[in-house]
Structure 1
Amino acid sequence: MISKPFSAASARNREPILAALRDLLRGCHTVLEIGSGTGQHAVHFGAAMPHLLWQTSDLAANHASIRAWLDGAALPNVLPPLLLDAGSNDWPAGPFDAVYTANTCHIMAWPEVQSMFRGIGRVLAPGGMLCIYGPFRRDGQFTTPSNAQFDASLRAQAPHMGLRNREDIDALAHAQGLTPVADLALPANNELLAWRRAG
């Protein structure tokens, strides 16, 4: 049996994110999660929101962990992971009522973030919702000293990583026909940003 990798951060942030998603995804039925990571969010949200068909996805290296969490939970509405490199042009056909991604924008290189939004634009249904969780800068400034320290630690690991400007992310969403509907402050200096596509 494959052991289930455990993310303490995912365990800490799952309830505040869930509280926000319950409202934002109320009218949705199908969700594509980009970068499912360990799989913890997928099983927690899938169990709490059984009306959603939750499609996991990630790079191949994370599929064993995701499958281990999915096998343990045995939820009929949470689907095995698709192979998805957000920086590529090879995306599932969709359409999906919603797209959710957590802690991905500051890990990927900026061209990959741009490519991810183009992919989202292709698979998100009319009236669909995009929800992005993570830390961001505002007007090029860090909102807290801890976020500045986190950004420095990311850039020390790899120069392409780092916190993104909220305004730049919003511009990418706008280019795909998305209008902002929520900007929620969550614990540990993170945010949940949401946009809706016109129906």
Structure 2
Amino acid sequence: MQTMDVNSLTPAGVLVSPAAGRNAGPILKVLRAHLPARGRVLEIAAGSGEHAVAFAAALPGLDWTPSDPSAEARASIAARADAANLPNLRLPLAVDMLDAATWPDHPVQAIVCINMVHISPWAATEGLMMLAGGSLPPGGLLALYGPYREADSPLAPSNAAFDASLKSRDPAWGLRDRDAIAEAAGSAGLALTLRIQMPANNLMLLFRRRPGRTCAGLPEVGRQDEQTEARP
């Protein structure tokens, strides 16, 4: 499964993502407020590894495991992890949302996925929800970041242009509808608890694992721009 957008490659084989450099700070601010103080975090589609290093360094109480289906990305992540030498940053796993056989079978307290759902087939988002539903404990967090379509908000011109560009590269790619993502999450036993507006017309969508069995529906959550999370 392809999940990486265009990145530059250094002679040392390390990928560089300008977007990761720009958004790491705002994303970290949200994660710091909502991730548990301790526990295991699985990062899906970790790409260049810049986020993994930045977040593991800033959140030393968390055991951070990056993953990516791309061998090139995993090599970049491993090189960055080796250079950073952080005790809580693990080597990357080859986790592919389109191949359930690659999904880790150990529980995690949180899952973080940044800029994947629009640069992968819709089946990858469904796979992500199934993985989260089966791996997270009740109340466990799934944090998604990226640009999304919303029925109650006009699409920003920059996001519309980005959507067209993605679809020209692969018809299976493109900005996803927030409500469709929430519906897929609900089917896997996850509830959308918070929507946070981020810079450059992006969003953070926070989901919590519901207690008990998975369910097919999702309660009405509306638009939540404030930094107060409604737990399921």
TM-score normalised to structure 1 length = 0.95
Matched-pair contact (CA < 8 Å) for 2:133–2:209 = no
Larger mean Cα displacement after TM superposition, 135-144 or 175-184: 135-144
Q: Which residue in the other structure is 2:146 paired with?
A: 134
Q: Which runs of 5 or more structure 2 residues have no equivalent in the other structure?
A: 1-10, 212-232
- What secondary structure is seen at the aligned counterpart in 1 of 2:25? helix
**Which whole-Å CA distance do the structure 2 matches of 1:117 and 1:142 have between them?**
26
Matched, 1:68 2:98: no
**Which whole-Å CA distance do the structure 1 matches of 2:61 and 2:91 have between them?**
17
Which aligned pairs between 1:78-97 and structure 2 lie closer than 5 A?
78-90=89-101, 91-97=103-109
Which aligned pairs between 1:29-178 and structure 2 lie closer than 5 A?
29-59=39-69, 60-90=71-101, 91-139=103-151, 142-178=154-190
Matched-pair contact (CA < 8 Å) for 1:155–1:161 = yes
Q: Which residue in the other structure is 1:20 paired with?
A: 30
**Which whole-Å CA distance do the structure 2 matches of 1:70 and 1:124 have between them?**
25
- What secondary structure is seen at the aligned counterpart in 1 of 2:124? helix
- What secondary structure is seen at the aligned counterpart in 2 of 1:193? strand
**Which whole-Å CA distance do the structure 1 matches of 2:123 and 2:138 have between them?**
25
Residues 125-169 of structure 1: per-residue CA shift (max 9 Å, x gap): 222100000000002975201100000000011111000000000
Kindly tell me: are residues 188 and 12 of structure 1, through their superposed partners in 2, closer, same or farther at Cα, counting changes over 3 Å?
Answer: same
Matched-pair contact (CA < 8 Å) for 1:136–1:142 = no
Query: Which structure features the higher share of strand residues?
Result: 1
Cα displacement (A) at 1:172: 1.1
Root-mean-square deviation (CA), in Å?
1.6
Cα displacement (A) at 1:56: 0.7
Aligned residue type for 1:49: L
- What secondary structure is seen at the aligned counterpart in 2 of 1:94? coil
Aligned residue type for 1:111: A
TM-score normalised to structure 2 length = 0.82
Matched-pair contact (CA < 8 Å) for 1:142–1:148 = no
Q: Which has the higher contact order (CA 8 A, sep 6+)?
A: 1
Cα displacement (A) at 1:181: 2.0
Q: Which residue in the other structure is 1:186 paired with?
A: 198
Moved over 6 A (4+): none
**Which whole-Å CA distance do the structure 2 matches of 1:61 and 1:117 have between them?**
25
Larger mean Cα displacement after TM superposition, 37-46 or 105-114: 105-114
Cα displacement (A) at 1:116: 2.1
Aligned residue type for 1:85: D
Matched-pair contact (CA < 8 Å) for 2:37–2:61 = no
